[in-house]
């Protein structure tokens, strides 16, 4: 989380324009979500929405990426939970079989 906030704050371009930043943060500015928001707000307020579409698309792509990662993580967690529950069911079945065997003896 700290890394994400650090990259977002530094590359957003709110304090220093990307032309004044070093190459790494200036490069992040071209696609990072914080930069998309800051530049979108700047285009909306100062330039009459000129160039706003690119920044909106940047934010939409980040949203889609976030939803994809969340869905993938949910699927993995469901699969792990299902895999963890299977041995518990087998153990219950084994206990029932052992109980039947001990009653029969």
pLDDT tens-digit series, residues 49-64: 777 888 888 889 989 9
- For the segment 79-96, what is each residue's pLDDT rounded down to a tens digit? 998 888 766 555 667 767
Q: What is the pLDDT of residue 80?
A: 92
Those residues with Cβ within 8 angstroms of residue 30's Cβ, 6 or more apart along the chain or in another chain: 18
CA gap 17, 27 in Å, rounded: 12
What is the domain range of residue 16?
2-104
Q: In this predicted structure, what is the pLDDT of residue 32?
A: 76
Number of domains within the chain:
1
């Amino acid at each position: 989380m700290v890394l994400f906030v650090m990259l977002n704050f530094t590359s957003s371009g709110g304090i220093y324009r990307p032309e004044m930043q070093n190459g790494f943060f200036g490069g992040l500015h071209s696609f990072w979500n914080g930069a998309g928001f800051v530049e979108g707000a700047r285009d909306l307020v100062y330039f009459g929405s000129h160039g706003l579409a690119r920044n909106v698309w940047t934010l939409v792509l980040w949203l889609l990426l976030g939803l994809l990662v969340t869905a993938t993580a949910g699927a993995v967690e469901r699969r792990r939970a299902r895999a963890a529950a299977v041995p518990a069911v087998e153990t219950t079945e084994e206990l029932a079989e052992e109980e039947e065997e001990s009653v029969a003896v």
